[in-house]
């Protein structure tokens, strides 16, 4: 359908997110990107769409069921929004299939071949039949679909085969059965390589299709097609009714198994008969049904993208994380942080010092308490292990484990239980809010008194994603920030009334107000004839109040530079509205995740890092932190990072007033600056400069250096 004319102020939120996913997909379509990295980007787009349908489309379906017909902020009703999404995502699915075809053509030229069953050599066919007998046929189990019996419960996002069988003698109605392609079965079935092949494989569903008669001896099979469903995951516990939050979250996890189907994907070719049967049984509308030319569940190709047997040019060149120049493995981190604040830029600089800080705190006899927020962690988190050791060592350990972190609920429940068993005090988030702030507070007794050591971050306490996500860590023992952090924990773990912070700003208590005041101050300075500048980097820009404040600032003449990775509901470069606002978005080998905010303030810049994007959910329904970077060296480093992004000529896309984007246009001679590469080269140069300085610094021995007799 054609889109209604939207209000002039805002870009449609859902369509803006889909434009972000298109930017990721464009990396998969870019021949200048290494081949297996293109495949990785394609897998990411598929994973992104899975979550988009589970959450965003799921919430719109609920609104539709509730009879909501009013238009939203962007001028569309839920029904109109779903139609717009369907049209855009069908086009995206076609582009995904096209991208995979091109990638696989290039892989074949390099000897990596996904084969169809009719392409197999006799030796490969024999090997496949043997593999089926030993590993697949004994595991896969068909389930008959009885016409008058309840329809079976199908697992969200799992691959199935729908088998249509000829009617029984004397009957007219076809029979159906499903074969689950279980998680224990390999999606890529390896084959012995033939001439010109380095790695040959077939997909699991193709093996099942080729061997389907094995499951239905003596029956005539009319059709066998793969399919996959996506269920609504936009469910949350009613905290006002839940006496036990853990039990409530477990009920939500269980309810997701039976929730409404919001998308049906069927592998092509499929007959109208099979499509009608599946769509009718699952109660899926035509625009929610996708007949896919590409294999289903493209995110499974992430495993293939990590194959190490290809040519080096198929992968990005390695960028091993570097240590911060001030880091010394022979000096404990408390001494290092006491000497100077440290700003770490991940993944260019390693996350290891953050992990080491908590591990040292667990063993240090001077540490009295560790207080930490855990939102998303890794499956074998060394940080959680350190917190458990700290509790077992008798330290006071208080951990806020956010059980409502979507899709990480089960893992966080397990971590919470393990920490409790170790003796830690565990708080299951805050009623009615998600605790999304990134903060660790370590209280240490030293000869001159109590010192509070702090880690603030823009990303999660996850050492695995810290190798993939662009984030900032700030390590400090600033006394004012320490007092603020202590008050912050008291506020959200007990009954302490919110206190005025010395330096921090927190949501939902006043973070939006603080940001509005900073924007208004810059606007007023511009009206008084001073230079005014706002630079902000975030994942999403949605909040109407902040967008309108930026429009006011632009009309006053404030120069505004925004780097928004994902959703951007602001319309940039509109005459009379936002002509002084420039928005870019960068998609590259690392996921841009840091939130950085800069306000010129008459030449005395105020610079912040934050856990919060500029979205209503972050500012109204989450506990977030805005952290000032007052240390001059750290502040200069943050500003330099910000400026580097806006110099990007290779991966930066300009966002247009309609929410779409212009592709990058790097100089043809290859001389253009690529921000992520420049940032990595900078940390390498800084570390090398520090090494040279240490090598050429002469430190005389003094009597105090001699060992005691």
User: Which positions are annotated as active-site residues?
Assistant: 436
DSSP conformation letters of 229-252:
EEE-------TTT-S-HHHHHHHH
Q: Give the whole-angstrom CA distance, residue 261 versus residue 230.
A: 6
Q: Is the dihedral of CA 404, 410, 416, 417 positive or negative?
A: positive
- Structure token digits, residue 538: 């975030």
Query: CA–CA separation, 276 vs 260, rounded Å?
Result: 18
Q: With 0-12 CB in 10 A as exposed, 13-18 as middle and 19+ as buried, what is 314?
A: buried
Tracing tokens 């329809």 back to the chain, one arrives at: 151
| 578, two tokens | 């936002």
Residue pair 585/565 in contact by the 8 Å Cβ criterion: yes
Question: Is the CB of residue 501 less than 8 Å from the CB of residue 492?
Answer: no
Instruction: At 684, give phi and psi (nearest 5°).
Output: -65, -45
Residue 392: which residues within 8 A CB-CB, separation 6 or more?
422, 423
Which of 487, 358, 376, 494 is closest to 425 using CA atoms? 494
- Rg of the chain over Cα atoms, rounded to whole angstroms, equals 28
Report residue 515 as tokens.
Answer: 């940001």
Handedness of CA 393, 399, 405, 410 (dihedral sign): positive
CA 467 – CA 321 distance, rounded (Å): 8
Strands 261-267 and 439-446: unpaired
- Helix crossing, 675-696 with 632-646: angle to 10°? 140
Backbone angle region of 436, left / alpha / beta, with phi > 0 → left and psi within -120 to 50 → alpha: alpha
Where do the DSSP E strands lie in 126-260?
Answer: 143-145, 159-165, 175-181, 188-191, 199-203, 221-231
How far, in Å, CA of 79 to CA of 280, rounded? 20
* Nearest-5° Cα angle at 386, 385 to 387: 90
Q: What is the DSSP letter of 145?
A: E
Residue pair 461/372 in contact by the 8 Å Cβ criterion: yes
Q: What is the DSSP string of 613-672?
A: -BSHHHHHSEEEEEEE--SHHHHHHHHHHHHHHHT-SSSEEEEPTTS-EEPP---TTS--
Rounded Cα distance, 430 and 442, in Å = 21
Closest CA to 60 of 288, 297, 347: 288
Question: How many Å apart are CA 664 and CA 599, to the nearest integer?
Answer: 27
Q: Could you tell me the strand order of the sheet in which 112-114 lies?
A: 112-114, 199-203, 188-191
**Listed residue (532, 551, 531, 529) closest to 541, CA to CA:** 551
User: What does residue 151 show for φ and ψ, rounded to 5 degrees?
Assistant: -65, 135
Which residues have C-beta within 8 Å of that of residue 369, sequence separation ≥ 6? 395, 396, 397, 398, 441, 442, 443
Q: Can you tell me the distance from the alpha carbon of 245 to that of 428, in angstroms, rounded to the nearest whole number?
A: 7
Residues 6+ apart with CB under 8 A from 93: 290, 292, 294
């Amino acid at each position: 359908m054609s889109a209604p004319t939207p209000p002039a102020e805002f870009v449609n939120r859902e369509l803006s997110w889909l434009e972000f996913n298109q930017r990721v997909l464009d990396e998969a379509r870019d021949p200048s990107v290494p081949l297996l990295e293109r495949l990785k980007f394609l897998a990411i787009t598929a994973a992104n769409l899975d979550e988009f349908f589970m959450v965003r489309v799921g919430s719109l379906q609920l609104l539709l069921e509730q009879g909501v017909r009013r238009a939203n902020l962007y001028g569309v009703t839920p029904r109109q929004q779903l139609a717009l999404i369907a049209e855009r995502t069908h086009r995206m699915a076609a582009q995904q299939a096209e991208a995979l075809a091109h990638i696989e053509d290039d892989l074949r030229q390099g000897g990596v071949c996904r084969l169809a069953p009719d392409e197999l050599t006799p030796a490969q066919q024999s090997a496949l039949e043997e593999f089926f007998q030993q590993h697949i046929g004994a595991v896969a189990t068909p389930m008959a679909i009885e016409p008058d019996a309840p329809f079976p419960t199908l697992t969200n996002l799992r691959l199935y085969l729908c088998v249509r069988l000829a009617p029984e003698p004397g009957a007219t109605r076809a029979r159906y059965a499903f074969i689950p392609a279980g998680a224990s079965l390999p999606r890529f079935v390896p084959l012995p390589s033939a001439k010109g092949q380095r790695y040959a494989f077939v997909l699991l569903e193709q093996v099942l299709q080729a061997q389907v008669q094995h499951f239905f001896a003596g029956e005539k099979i009319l059709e066998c097609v793969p399919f996959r469903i996506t269920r609504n995951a936009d469910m949350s516990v009613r905290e006002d009714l839940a006496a036990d939050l853990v039990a409530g979250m477990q009920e939500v996890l269980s309810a997701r198994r039976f929730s409404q189907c919001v998308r049906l994907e069927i592998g092509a070719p499929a007959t109208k008969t099979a499509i009608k049967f599946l769509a009718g049984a699952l109660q899926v509308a035509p625009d929610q049904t996708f007949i896919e030319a590409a294999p289903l569940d493209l995110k499974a190709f992430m495993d293939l993208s990590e194959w190490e047997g290809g040519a080096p040019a198929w992968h990005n060149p390695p960028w091993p994380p570097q240590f911060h120049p001030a880091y010394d493995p022979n000096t404990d981190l408390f001494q290092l942080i006491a000497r100077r604040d440290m700003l770490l830029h991940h993944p260019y600089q390693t996350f290891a010092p953050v992990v080491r800080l908590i591990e040292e705190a667990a063993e240090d006899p001077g540490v009295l308490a560790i207080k930490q927020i855990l939102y998303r962690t890794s499956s074998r988190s060394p940080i959680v292990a350190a917190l458990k050791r700290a509790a077992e060592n008798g330290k006071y350990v208080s951990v806020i484990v956010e059980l409502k972190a979507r899709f990480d609920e089960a893992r966080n429940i397990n971590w919470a239980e393990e920490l409790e068993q170790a003796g830690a005090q565990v708080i299951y988030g805050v009623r009615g809010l998600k605790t999304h702030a990134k903060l660790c507070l370590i209280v240490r007794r030293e000869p001159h008194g109590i010192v509070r050591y702090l880690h603030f971050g823009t990303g999660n306490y996850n050492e695995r994603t810290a190798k993939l996500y662009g984030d900032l860590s700030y390590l400090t023992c600033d006394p004012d920030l320490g007092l603020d952090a202590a008050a912050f924990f008291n506020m959200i773990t007990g009954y302490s009334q919110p206190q005025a912070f010395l330096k921090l700003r927190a949501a939902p208590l006043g973070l939006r107000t603080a940001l509005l005041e900073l924007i208004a101050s810059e606007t007023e300075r511009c009206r008084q004839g001073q230079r005014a500048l706002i630079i902000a980097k975030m994942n999403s820009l949605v909040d109407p109040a902040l967008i309108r404040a930026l429009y006011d600032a632009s009309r006053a003449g404030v120069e505004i530079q925004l780097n928004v990775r994902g959703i951007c509901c602001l319309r940039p470069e509109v005459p009379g509205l936002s002509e002084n606002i420039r928005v870019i978005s960068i998609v590259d080998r690392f996921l841009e995740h840091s939130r950085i905010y800069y306000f010129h303030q008459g030449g005395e810049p105020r610079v912040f890092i934050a856990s919060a994007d500029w979205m209503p959910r972050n500012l109204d329904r989450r506990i977030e932190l805005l952290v000032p970077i007052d240390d001059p060296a750290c502040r200069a480093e943050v500003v330099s990072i910000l400026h580097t992004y806006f110099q990007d000529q290779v991966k930066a896309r300009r966002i247009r007033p309609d929410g779409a984007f212009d592709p990058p246009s790097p100089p043809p001679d290859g001389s253009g600056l690529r921000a992520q590469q420049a940032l990595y080269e900078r940390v390498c140069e800084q570390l090398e400069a520090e090494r040279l300085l240490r090598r050429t610094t002469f430190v005389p021995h003094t009597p105090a250096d001699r060992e005691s007799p």
